[in-house]
Structure 1
């Protein structure tokens, strides 16, 4: 049957949970048996049943996904070219004939990249080029977007203190040392893990890698990347380093298989980023609303109610409330979290991870000085667990709303346990809009500073060249800021270059909590 050529009518008959076919890259697949096992739920597939789902499938799923989850016999055959055109057309919306539907919107031409002068310009340009679904997923944050907004505002509230009569023409460098001095990079700027890059542009995560290569910046590749780790590694030039983000799965075997793949690519992937700030999916209303609107648009025409028998007109009753509840998995973000483990602990997860990789581990999502302190003490007590650093992050405001900005946590560390800054790498991400933001974080002790959405907006605005433009803007601003301050290297930056008085009013002001009884102590390494 695999050599059979199907017509559009034959494919379109299989749209139920009992018989669900989809077309991908011109081939027909029977995905009926996979429906109950799809991480994002069966409704995601059923709304694409009986038609060409390639455009929806490709930006979200890396190559090899079909082979991993479907049996070979699920590939039924091909579709003839004329039928393929018909199957690409969306089904009619409720109450609307197919011919009456609005045509696909025509996007305006993208502005020239050199006309984009800052990250606001880049984001505005990207919004004109990407789909509403893509914009909603990238833009969205938890609840009322308070943390997302405060991430940027906190940087605005820190003032710079420039020094004068400094010769900044000689020996200028933005070279950064990371992971305990293992690697030296031309810039402290890196790409935070950002999922689903091909939603913005076909260049995807490989395009991000090529875009930052000119600056020698590192990229942390998302666990939910739309390209394989091998594809992204192939885009990295010699000497370029990558990190891999890990969301530990409830089925640990899946995570262990991925770690084996990353270990085999260790000439490019130099560390693992274990993400801890999103144990459960958050409520991101822009993303969810876009998903709900899309699903409402695809609902089939309802069957007409049978006409009542002639007789006396019954008393009118209030219409019953709809029994249908909003789908909690309507957004892209909720779909991606399916299968993510929420049972991680210091004493179970880190030793498990050390058994499956000897790459350095960076903990992403630290939001208090207490956890930063525990990470530093753990790194000292159990070197066999390979813990090398932490990333102060609130997930770009996408996880717990009103959680603190990274810069607040960094100030907490300086106040309560500054020794952490010397014991392990401390990186920050979230809210960076200017090169001055990067320099402020470096002055307060960060070793590296990440941007996530900015890279995605650059990709949406112009593919890999758009990403390159984002880093060109930020790197130029970093260099200008440092020279204006009177610093010629990152080692010269320090807290006397910044005035944080306004921000310090808002950071935690309780007991340090570092000497309380019962504080977790990492178990000692067993003697051989």
Structure 2
């Protein structure tokens, strides 16, 4: 059937939940049976029914997605090009702008300027997804603002000729203590996508954690990796565990690149990202939100990209079950992302050596608004259970805009400092070269800060180089609380 020619006029007759066809890459597919199991829900497919959906589909789905999710007979044939009529029934185009190309990346001096350029150049849908955060966006802005309340304590009469930003993460050498945190759908902002980020990281010896919802396959992303380049794979455990187990098998087969699994815990359900959800209201093809298959549950919100990606994510993970399940399906070390309290940091340390590191993160302010910034959790750990730093590595992400932010986090005990949006905005501003410029700026600023502090190596940074008193006044002060459920004695005996 795949060689059969089908007229575009025939395709437009199939736009209902009972018979839904779409055109992808010049081929006609019957996706009726897939409507109710589509992770984004049936609504998003029905909005594209009866027409060419390639432009909307391609930046989001890695190659092979069609083959993995549709039966061979769902590929009905090729669309007859002579029957295709250019119409104006697609989503309204954004206001046309004359594209003069990106400015020279070296003219952009900080991450805010890179974000400004990216905002002008990226499709609005991509910008809204990357930029958005939950509810009133307090956590997103506070993630960065809290670093301003930590002051540096420079020492003088110190030879600052040399500066070495290299360190180790999980025992592997990296050239910078900066890593790219998992951020989904990179090709929404630029065709270079996650592979472009990987190539940029390779040039700076930086680690990259690849999103579970990447828009390219793992093999595509690491294809041009430098010798010894370090990657981790983010995992959102699915309700259908078989899907997650299949992905783990793919990552296990690439041990030279993927050194750990990053299990994300801070978003068992999606936050309410209003800016992202609002984009779904702009479609010219209106489909009622209540349109769904008989067995398809109702979905909250406006159906933004974030809501679509999270559908199918398991929300029933526990300390008791999730790590035991992971142990059955991978021998790779586990990094737990999304720890936000000292109690959970201490619990994670109990699971060493399976758990090698934790990432203190509130999901970039995209999950629970007014959740604590990583700096607060770092200070909580230092106050209530500092032994955690001796047994597992502690990484942070969220709000990093300057090299001084990186240094302050390292002074508080972080081993690595992650960037999420910054890498995506780098892509949006200038593709792979834009990501290089992001890393170039932060590395140079980090080196300058270390030199002016009188520090030559990352390992020399510590609390004596900062004054965090103002922030310490705001951290949790309810006591360790570990004795209330017998945790302290158990952890003390373990550690």
- Say yes or no: TM over 0.5: yes
Aligned to 1:481: 449
Displacement of 1:14:
1.4
Displacement of 1:80:
3.1
What CA distance in whole angstroms lies between the structure 2 residues aligned with 1:83 and 1:434?
54
Aligned to 2:140: 148
Aligned-pair Cα RMSD in Å: 2.0
Displacement of 1:377:
2.3
Q: Deviations over 1:154-180 (max 9, x none)?
A: 01111111111111214x31111122x
Aligned to 2:341: 368
- The match for 1:213 among 185, 197, 202 is 202
Unaligned runs of 5+ in 2: 289-297
- The match for 1:165 among 149, 157, 161 is 157
What CA distance in whole angstroms lies between the structure 2 residues aligned with 1:478 and 1:16?
56
Is 1:178 the counterpart of 2:136? The answer is no
What CA distance in whole angstroms lies between the structure 2 residues aligned with 1:326 and 1:362?
30
Displacement of 1:501:
1.3
Q: Deviations over 1:303-334 (max 9, x none)?
A: xxxxxxxxxxxxxxxxxxxxxx9962510000
Q: Deviations over 1:198-242 (max 9, x none)?
A: 000111100100112111001000001001111112131221010
Is 1:299 the counterpart of 2:286? The answer is yes
Helix, strand or coil for the counterpart of 1:449? strand
TM-score normalised per structure 1:
0.88
Displacement of 1:81:
3.2
Q: Is the 8 A contact 1:244 1:271 kept in 2?
A: yes
Q: Deviations over 1:269-290 (max 9, x none)?
A: 0001000000111100000111
Unaligned runs of 5+ in 1: 94-100, 302-324
75-84 vs 506-515, which deviates more?
Answer: 75-84
Radius of gyration: which is bigger?
Answer: 1
Displacement of 1:83:
4.1
Distance change >3 Å, CA 458–CA 48, structure 1 → 2? same
Q: Deviations over 1:52-104 (max 9, x none)?
A: 11111111111111000101111111123354563xx55178xxxxxxx7676
Runs of 4 or more above 6 Å deviation: none
Q: Is the 8 A contact 1:146 1:397 kept in 2?
A: yes
Displacement of 1:114:
1.3
What CA distance in whole angstroms lies between the structure 2 residues aligned with 1:17 and 1:274?
35
Distance change >3 Å, CA 165–CA 126, structure 1 → 2? same
Is 1:72 the counterpart of 2:63? The answer is no
Aligned to 2:244: 255
What CA distance in whole angstroms lies between the structure 2 residues aligned with 1:228 and 1:453?
20
Helix, strand or coil for the counterpart of 1:34? helix
Q: Is the 8 A contact 2:60 2:215 kept in 1?
A: yes
What CA distance in whole angstroms lies between the structure 2 residues aligned with 1:390 and 1:339?
24
Distance change >3 Å, CA 85–CA 265, structure 1 → 2? farther
- The match for 2:394 among 414, 426, 429 is 426
Helix, strand or coil for the counterpart of 1:22? strand
Q: Deviations over 1:431-481 (max 9, x none)?
A: 000011000000111000000000000001111111001100111100111
Q: Is the 8 A contact 1:107 1:129 kept in 2?
A: no
Q: Is the 8 A contact 1:108 1:128 kept in 2?
A: no
What CA distance in whole angstroms lies between the structure 2 residues aligned with 1:300 and 1:337?
21
Displacement of 1:515:
2.2
Aligned to 2:9: 9
103-112 vs 466-475, which deviates more?
Answer: 103-112
- The match for 1:106 among 91, 97, 110 is 97
Aligned to 1:312: none
What CA distance in whole angstroms lies between the structure 1 residues aligned with 2:90 and 2:121?
25
Q: Is the 8 A contact 1:375 1:390 kept in 2?
A: yes
161-170 vs 485-494, which deviates more?
Answer: 161-170
Q: Is the 8 A contact 2:174 2:206 kept in 1?
A: yes
Is 1:460 the counterpart of 2:439? The answer is no
Q: Deviations over 1:127-147 (max 9, x none)?
A: 111111111100000100000
Q: Is the 8 A contact 1:292 1:327 kept in 2?
A: no
Distance change >3 Å, CA 470–CA 107, structure 1 → 2? farther
What CA distance in whole angstroms lies between the structure 2 residues aligned with 1:213 and 1:151?
27
What CA distance in whole angstroms lies between the structure 1 residues aligned with 2:376 and 2:98?
40
Q: Is the 8 A contact 2:46 2:287 kept in 1?
A: no
What CA distance in whole angstroms lies between the structure 1 residues aligned with 2:85 and 2:456?
59
What CA distance in whole angstroms lies between the structure 2 residues aligned with 1:177 and 1:104?
47
Q: Is the 8 A contact 1:391 1:427 kept in 2?
A: yes
What CA distance in whole angstroms lies between the structure 1 residues aligned with 2:424 and 2:94?
27
Q: Is the 8 A contact 1:279 1:342 kept in 2?
A: yes
- The match for 2:89 among 91, 110, 127 is 91
Aligned to 2:292: none
Q: Is the 8 A contact 2:139 2:371 kept in 1?
A: yes
- The match for 2:327 among 336, 345, 354 is 354
What CA distance in whole angstroms lies between the structure 2 residues aligned with 1:494 and 1:103?
49
What CA distance in whole angstroms lies between the structure 2 residues aligned with 1:92 and 1:424?
51
